[in-house]
Structure 1
């Protein structure tokens, strides 16, 4: 009887070992779950970035002659053969920051203020009759101004998605700015900057185009 009494119930040591094993399993599962959530979020941001890249690349293809020069929010049309010329899309996507998603920010192109939702949004609501009695939409904006509006729309979407956007010359491409020149679109998120720079530790990549360790960004070529 004494032998049976000594084996009755569960000892404290056995309970502690069981709790320890359960805790390790739960912690491991929690860590795995967090990594899965992080990977899912990263994949979602990359998908949104690729959508922005495609949209901006289409704008660049649609307006190959949209060249401007200047800085800030005011630009003036110049010929693409001028060395200092910067394409409208590149200038606006990289330089013009929209403060708020619904702020309706604008940019001045050839003396006309172009906005996304304002009066000068380049959307024609009327028609004109040509010499052949055909009704055609009113031409409200030039190629530069249309390119500016479409680029502002892409910029606004990037802001809503909390993605930084920039258009730069691709590494090792020292050719002069020209129509249909190869350009690189950079999208960056988290604390990564949309830059190709050796000195900035938060830049997306080095000057040779190699991604920096731990960066959260994508570099895509566009023509």
Structure 2
């Protein structure tokens, strides 16, 4: 009888120990689930970023002679040799506008209203009828850049175009770097800015959420 009295509560202790071990296992499993979800989200954003980079690179190749001067939402057409002229696509991506910009006095828009640079008329050239081009090359480049920028903004992805490390000339025909960034990372290369994607030499910063790709 005394032996039974000494064993009172042993079963309860065993249950508590089992619950403790189960709790530790569940916590570990939960942590793995959180990490897995985070990795999946990061992979999804990177896939979207790659698509945006490819689209933007193709647009850059399509308009190798589109240059403008100015900043913000208003730009003026300029030749590549003009002082302070920059590639139109780089200027639009770096500017504040997402849906509308003004190039050479014409407001270019990706909205249903405004000039969207789509041909709706025909003209006769050398006796042949062809679509009338309502926009210049700079204006077309601005429109296409706005479309990619809007897609990126809808996905909470920030865009940036800059000269790649080791490249001095700011010409779209030469090597340029496209940077996509998300979360708290900025699409820039900087040694002093803690939120920058990479250093000025193009080395990824620890903890940055971004992707840098070269375009030619």
Q: TM-score range by the shorter chain?
A: over 0.9
- Whether 1:127 aligns to 2:132 is no
Answer whether contact 1:80 1:177 (CA < 8 A) is retained.
no
Question: Structure 1 stretches (4+) deviating beyond 3 angstroms?
Answer: 1-10
The change in CA–CA distance for 1:64 and 1:162 in structure 2 (over 3 A counts) is same
Per-residue deviation, 1:7: 7.0
Aligned partner (choices 147, 150, 158) of residue 153 of structure 1? 147
Q: Which residue of 1 aligns with 2:33?
A: 33
Answer whether contact 2:60 2:172 (CA < 8 A) is retained.
no
Q: Which residue of 1 aligns with 2:69?
A: 69
Answer whether contact 1:60 1:89 (CA < 8 A) is retained.
yes
Inter-partner Cα distance in structure 2 for 1:70 and 1:112: 14
Per-residue deviation, 1:8: 9.1
Inter-partner Cα distance in structure 1 for 2:151 and 2:172: 26
SS of the aligned residue for 1:68 comes to strand
Answer whether contact 1:196 1:209 (CA < 8 A) is retained.
yes
Q: How many aligned positions are there?
A: 215
Inter-partner Cα distance in structure 1 for 2:129 and 2:3: 106
Aligned partner (choices 197, 207, 210) of residue 204 of structure 1? 197
- Whether 1:115 aligns to 2:109 is yes
Inter-partner Cα distance in structure 2 for 1:38 and 1:120: 41
| Equivalence map 1:40-55=2 (5 Å) | 40-55=40-55
SS of the aligned residue for 1:26 comes to helix
Per-residue deviation, 1:49: 0.4
Inter-partner Cα distance in structure 2 for 1:109 and 1:218: 29
Q: Which residue of 2 aligns with 1:180?
A: 173
Q: Deviations over 1:9-64 (max 9, x none)?
A: 96111011100010011001000000000000000000000011001001100000
TM-score under structure 1 normalisation?
0.90
Unaligned runs of 5+ in 2: none
The change in CA–CA distance for 1:138 and 1:60 in structure 2 (over 3 A counts) is same
Inter-partner Cα distance in structure 2 for 1:203 and 1:178: 23
TM-score under structure 2 normalisation?
0.93
